[in-house]
Chains A and B, each alone.
Chain A
């Protein structure tokens, strides 16, 4: 059974800092890995998807890397802003459960002005 751990559980930083959010997973036979953002009381917004054959994916100030063999993914947020405050969720898909996501508990990020 896939298990996903996200570190840190919570992070509070001043505006402008560069951040690293970590995700580890136990089953390395994944099809892809998705990073989501969730605002309080809202649904999930997809940020990035990395295919298992890729090493990284970039979108604006976000960069996600994937090391499938070691079961790790990292989300890098450059020049953080208060609007980045949210919960960030990591979710690998596939392995023996193709297409189905297993979620971590998330990292709660607060960026203060």
Chain B
């Protein structure tokens, strides 16, 4: 099992450009999450999807959109990138009422110039 995979691993954008971060999991989990990690701010939840067909805002959703494409895939889109969105982005997945909690992907390091 690959677990949670993310593409790309690194990306550099110019202000105003758009891009989509891809996430896929092969653990048949219902819930998926997007976090960003910034120095001094820790990890913060951007959006989550409790189950296929549903998405909800987290703590810092402004400037982002998400799509739960199917049970396996959850994408994060930046429509018009800003320097404040320079960060490391992590995708995670989990299943309710299991003893294993959330599993995280390796992250995407995004720089917006």
Contacts and interface: CB of A to CB of B under 8 A. Distances in A.
A99 B58 CA distance: 12
A89 B100 contact: no
Interface in B23-46: 31, 33, 40, 42-45
A49 interface: yes
Interface stretch (A15-23, A65-73, A74-82, A102-110): A102-110
Contact of A99 (B42, B94, B103, B107): B94
18 contacts: A34-B101, A34-B102, A36-B104, A42-B106, A43-B90, A44-B43, A44-B92, A44-B104, A46-B102, A99-B31, A99-B50, A100-B48, A101-B33, A101-B43, A101-B102, A102-B45, A103-B44, A105-B40
Interface of A: 32, 34, 36, 42-46, 49, 51, 89, 91, 93, 99-106
Contact of B101 (A32, A42, A103, A104): A32
A55 B97 CA distance: 17
Interface size class of B (residues with CB under 8 A): 20 to 34
A103 B102 contact: no
A43 B107 CA distance: 6
